Structure 1
Amino acid sequence: MKCLTSDELRQMYLDFFKSKGHAVIRSASLIPENDPTVLFTTAGMHPLVPYLLGETHPAGTRLTDVQKCVRTGDIDEVGDESHCTFFEMLGNWSLGDYFKKEAITWSFEFLTDEKYLGIDKDKLYFSCFAGDEDAPRDMVAYDTWRSLGVADDHIFFLPKENNWWGPAGITGPCGPDTEMFIDTGKPACGPDCSPACDCGKYLEIWNDVFMEYNKQADGTYVPLEQKNVDTGMGLDRTIAILQGKGSVYETDVFAPIISKIEELSGKNYEGADEDTRKAFRIVADHMRCATFMIGDERGITPSNVDQGYVLRRLLRRAIRFSGKLGIAEGSLPKIAQVVIDKYAHAYEELKINETKILSEIAKEEERFQKTITQGMKEFEKTVERLDGDMIDGKSAFRLYDTFGFPIEFTLELAAERGFKVDKDGFDKAFQHHQELSHAGAEQRFKGGLADTSEQTARLHTATHLLNAALRKLLSEDIVQKGSNITAERLRFDFNFPRKVEREELDQIEAYVNEAIDAGLDVLEEEMSVAEAKEQGAMGVFDSKYGDLVKVYTIPGYSKEICGGPHAKNTAELGHFKIKKEQSSSAGVRRIKAVLD
């Protein structure tokens, strides 16, 4: 088994699949475009959903990439040996091209061939979908593994909870998968020990997903006309295996970040007690994730809603644990600088947005330091007033609303002192804010880009006209900062320093409706990024498309690089109506609109 650095693995993977006829595409943004079912890009498949559902990709039907991802459902678990909020997913894709046999064969070759990872095949184990009322037992995957020389006792048939993947949100493409595991050498937990166990004997290293179905809002599964392959190998976890490390935090990915924290704290990571090591890991993870969030091409800033709330939570938790390590106030930008230096060669947006990253982190640290001392004092007063072991929801909300004290801090501090918090009571008091949880993020809306209905396509097209109206009527410097579409409405975020007045909103509505009434064809073309920019096409998210991009033109109004779906003619849109204009975060405004 080869011992590779993260950079070596990243490049080896892309080169391997390039040799198999795949086009290398760049990572998409961490912020999903037009998908309200999740706040962040959570898997490699997420940015490619339109193409998995039949849209043609400019780069072809075979793709490979390294996708940056964020998963925030288990922030509270970060600090152990394995959980991270940010991670990189190595992936290769077939959009109606090859299917199970080729995907499995190439996965096996990359894992076991001495030219690549060189893992002893006897240390590898595999799982296949056992079948249920939605889909049959996956004998094609099983037979392919057997044909490659895998022993029968190294293959497990497991149910949907173990061997089914997707969709990224509530609806969308999904299907059975076959997963690859490495034997860690730990003893079996019993006669029924399998990769489905949590005993630690089997560690997942790769996953090949066979997207054969489209999950509907009612929970049913409809076969896809275009069958796809989506594979994913976590870079951090694979590097830990190849480098023989028990934790991702001991690999070359985190080494310079941990080293900087040691320098700033005067403490050593190795040999430290578990609480100290946990603090190291939390600061390292959260600062890496926050740096990528702010530095993203659709970068966000700390706020009290949506992605900005998650960013604020990460930064403030990093501040708290850096304080436990004895790190001086104002030091977090120094840690972020290490992250930038480590990753900028692979993700140029970090270098491009370096000043913004360091500035936003410094501002949030300064802002929080002013509130945390007072908040801590108020927390202690709250505890002293208790007539039992429960902090009521109203008091917890007061800590947040009046003193800027995050509920996560209240929960953690209460637990440390043996108290409980009435979280349900807090949530009721907090209903005008949006508290994030893994389930909550998925359930906030019922549609998404995975919903390629005619209505969604109409709203998507309307965002192009809205963007054009804002640039024409307010400022040519306006760019899209976010877009979120359900089957009922669109939400569009854009940079602007002030409230948009009602008279201006009326003018924007009139401009969009003028284009709709004109009955203009929506033209679709494929061209190079250079050609698109030369023609004046807007496109701040073109990094996910590769060398060739799709450009949608509404003659006389809009020309944008985009992935679709769209209406064929503006007359299909109906009547455009702005329902609300508000602040999204510092310097960013938000418009919600509908089509009647």
Structure 2
Amino acid sequence: METDRVIRTFIEYFEERGHRRITGSTLLPPPGDPVLFTTSGMHPLTPYLEGRPHPWGRRLVNVQRCLRTTDLEEVGDATHLTVFEMLGTWSLGDYEGPQSLDWGYGLLTEGLGIDPGLLHATVHGGDEHVGPDTASLRVWQDRGVPVELTVEDNWWSNGPVGPCGPDSEIFLWTGDTPPRSTPTRDDRWVEVWNHVMMRHRRLEDGSLVPLPQRNIDTGLGVERLASLLQGRSSVFECDVFDPWRRLVPTLWPLDEPSLRLVYDHLRSAVVVIGDGIRPANTGRGYVLRRLVRRVLTVLWRDDPSRSLHDLPDELLTHTLDRFRQDLESAVVRRLLLDEERRFRRLLERGRQVLARRRFHGPLTDEDFHHLHDTHGLPRDLVMSLRQG
């Protein structure tokens, strides 16, 4: 099942059940949101989850592009991406968790054809604040899906304060043996869908109070689900990455983990640029700068002559089209090459500075502060240069 068909099947399934499709936002969160980027489909909907009436009603569905900087170090494994698309559904004070899980089970098994015997669920087992989520547990037991009870792993929050609640996660078995063990004990169980019963608000003192309305917020990663449905061993092997796998290895021969990082970070950089971000030393611009520099560090490790100038235009246009962004690929290329030239100059200056006698021995925190404040050399770059 191609990725676009996965998305279409998901959207149509929930439209048939009274959900209105809303347009996903850019990677820029709404004003007042403390995060740098939109990390989930719920971010643009925060005011409505807290009680404001949504103009399209109380049942919503969409596809939202997201960026998670917390996963940067995980990129290269089989399941993590920096920028990805997320399918989401919401009940804004309408139906409750059991209905959401029932529809989720139906979509996975009937709409997408997944063998029910390959599913496993986790459910909140209760803690000192709330009791066990018996309603979700009963849904899975009625359908014969094995359930694991957890505490922290099945409690969703948007930070130390704010909306929160128990969740139930759905996992798919990816091993080459019959399913065994549980999701917390065997990483061959891959999470595909999270259903959050957003009922509470956590206050600064740690206490919980009821939200004005009881919401459902679900999220499902597009690329991860598509790769599983296509029988692929990693997200980088689903059809979304076909052009990258076809063109990049012939251009830059790299090992598989390095190729995955290049695919992910360059694709993510294109999307970030497409949403209006430009390289900078702080904030969102620094995330973009870090993505590009991590790619260049990998490319130059074996051959310093490699350049983003050689990046096929097909990859830029494919990514911009995929994320529905109205920007000329020539603009993206110019920004990437400007950043490449800036990074080369910084590396040259960094090598000259670190060659000074003062920096020959172990570096102190004072040294790192001096290198950053005086010469513009961040700690991670200094460490990379010394290792090189």
TM-score where L is the length of structure 2: 0.91
- Asked if the contact 2:79/2:235 (under 8 Å) is kept, the reply is yes
| Match in the other structure for 2:155 | 164
Query: Secondary structure of the equivalent of 1:391?
Result: coil
Give the Å deviation of 1:121.
0.4
Question: What is the deviation of 1:321?
Answer: 1.2
Residue 345 of structure 2 is aligned to residue 370 of structure 1: yes
Give the superposition deviation at 1:369.
Answer: 1.8
The Cα offsets for residues 25-67 of structure 1, whole Å up to 9 and x where unpaired, read as 1211212122353211111111111100011111111111111
The correspondence for 1:277, drawn from 216, 231, 256, is 256
Q: Structure 1's 339 and 95: CA in aligned 2 closer, same or farther, altered over 3 A?
A: farther
Aligned-pair Cα RMSD in Å: 2.5
Partner of 1:347: 323
Counterpart residue number, 1:108? 105
**1:195 counterpart (143, 159, 183):** 183
Contact 2:271 2:323 in 1 (8 A): no
Paired position in structure 1 for 2:268: 289
Partner of residue 230, structure 1? 217
**Which residue, 130, 139, 155 being the options, matches 2:147?**
155
1:18 counterpart = 2:15: yes
Contact 1:99 1:227 in 2 (8 A): yes
How far apart, in 1, do the equivalents of 2:189 and 2:80 lie?
Answer: 17
Structure 1 residues 278, 346: CA separation in 2 closer, same or farther (over 3 Å shift)? closer
Quote how far apart the aligned CAs of 1:303 are.
0.8
Give the superposition deviation at 1:241: 1.1
2:183 partner letter: P
Contact 2:271 2:320 in 1 (8 A): no
Query: Which structure has the larger Rg?
Result: 1
Contact kept? 2:317, 2:329, Cα under 8 Å? no
Is 1:385 paired with 2:360? yes
Contact kept, 8 Å, 1:257 with 1:338, in 2: the verdict is no
TM-score, length-normalised on structure 1? 0.61
Q: Given that residues 332 and 365 in structure 1 are in contact (C-alpha distance below 8 angstroms), is that contact kept between their aligned partners in structure 2?
A: no
Maintained 8 Å contact 1:260/1:338: no
CA distance in 2, matches of 1:58, 1:70: 26
Q: Are the equivalent residues in 2 in contact too, given 1:295–1:356 (CA < 8 A)?
A: no
Report what 2:237 is aligned to. Answer: 250
Match of 1:487 in 2: none
Give, in whole Å, the separation in 1 of the partners of 2:149 and 2:310: 48
Deviation at residue 398 of structure 1 after TM alignment: 4.0
CA distance, structure 2, for counterparts of residue 118 and residue 188 of structure 1: 18
User: Matches of residues 110-509 of structure 1 in structure 2 within 5 Å?
Assistant: 110-113=107-110, 116-147=111-142, 149-151=143-145, 154-159=146-151, 161-167=152-158, 169-185=159-175, 193-197=181-185, 199-265=186-252, 267=253, 276-296=255-275, 299-324=276-301, 326=303, 328-331=305-308, 334=311, 337-349=313-325, 351-352=326-327, 354-379=329-354, 381=356, 385-386=360-361, 390-414=362-386, 416=387
Residue aligning to 1:85 = 82
- Per the TM alignment, residue 23 of structure 1 is displaced from its structure 2 partner at its CA by 1.1
Cα distance in structure 2, aligned partners of 1:412 and 1:374: 14
Is the 8 Å Cα contact of residues 236 and 260 (structure 2) preserved in structure 1?
yes
| Structure 2: 5+ residue stretches without partners | none
Superimposed CA distance per residue, residues 329-381 of structure 1 (whole angstroms, 9 cap, x where no aligned partner): 5426835x4444334444322x3354432332222112222222332343455
Report the secondary structure of 1:35's partner residue.
coil
Q: Supply the distance in 2 between the matched residues of 1:179 and 1:352 (Cα, whole angstroms).
A: 37
CA contact (8 A) 1:187 1:201 kept: no
Amino acid at match of 1:91: G
- Counterpart of 2:61, as a letter, is T
The residue matched to 1:143 in structure 2 has which SS? helix
Whichever residue aligns with residue 174 of structure 1, its letter is C
For 1:50, the aligned partner's letter is P
- Structure 1: tracts of 5 or more residues without a match: 270-275, 418-596
Task: Mark the CA change 1:155 to 1:23 in structure 2 (over 3 Å): closer, same or farther.
Answer: same
* Alignment partners' CA distance in 2, 1:145 and 1:189: 17
Cα pair 1:264 1:331 within 8 Å, conserved: no
Distance 2:318 2:8 in 1: 15
3-state DSSP class of the match of 2:239? coil
CA distance change for structure 1 residues 76 and 185 in 2, over 3 Å: closer, same or farther?
Answer: closer
CA distance in 1, matches of 2:248, 2:266: 11
Residues 7, 225 of structure 1: alpha-carbon distance in 2 compared, 3 angstrom cutoff: same
1:23–1:59 Cα contact (<8 Å) kept: yes
Residue 207 of structure 1 deviates from its aligned partner by: 0.9
SS of residue matched to 1:17:
helix
- Partners in 2 of 1:263 and 1:186 — Cα distance? 31
Query: 1:264·1:328 contact (CA, 8 Å) conserved in 2?
Result: no
| Counterparts of 2:74 and 2:266, CA distance in 1 | 16
Give the 3 Å change call, closer, same or farther, for CA 383–86 of structure 1 in structure 2: farther
| TM-fit CA distance, 1:411 | 3.1
Distance verdict in 2 for CA 1:329–1:245, change over 3 Å: same
SS at match of 1:83: coil
Judged with a 3 Å threshold, the aligned counterparts in structure 2 of structure 1 residues 384 and 133 are, in CA distance, closer, same or farther, namely closer
Kept after mapping to 2: 8 A contact 1:186/1:200:
no
What amino acid is aligned across from residue 105 of structure 2 in structure 1?
F
Distance 1:413 1:34 in 2: 38
Q: Shift of the alpha carbon at 1:295? A: 0.6
